[in-house]
Amino acid sequence: MTSTGPNRAYGNGLRRLGGDATAFFDEHVEADAVHEQIAAYDMGGSFCADEPELAGDVLFEARCVLGLNDARAGYVPDLRAAGESSLRS
């Protein structure tokens, strides 16, 4: 559910560099946006409707994943800017 933004950035980056593989990333922006809706509403929504006592857990887990994505989104570029690897040895 969080790949639309990165795929858009990859496509835009390739466009700036004159790359010719932008169609791949552009297609994934569109497809992943549809998959995001299916996951959120069809899967997550129907699960929460069937198991309302677990809806709070689903929201908590979604917030955790989004928080980790946000932390990583800053972590990797900061290390690259410092000339360091984001990979652990």
Average pLDDT over residues 82-88: 87
* Per-residue pLDDT, 86: 83
* Per-residue pLDDT, 72: 79
∠ Cα 60 34 42 (to 5°) = 50
Instruction: Note the pLDDT tens digit of each residue in 14-62.
Output: 999 988 889 999 998 888 888 988 988 899 999 999 999 999 999 999 8
For residue 74, what is the enclosing H or E element?
helix 55-81
* Per-residue pLDDT, 75: 83
* Per-residue pLDDT, 78: 87
* Per-residue pLDDT, 3: 82
Rounded-to-integer distance, Cα 31 and Cα 47, Å: 23
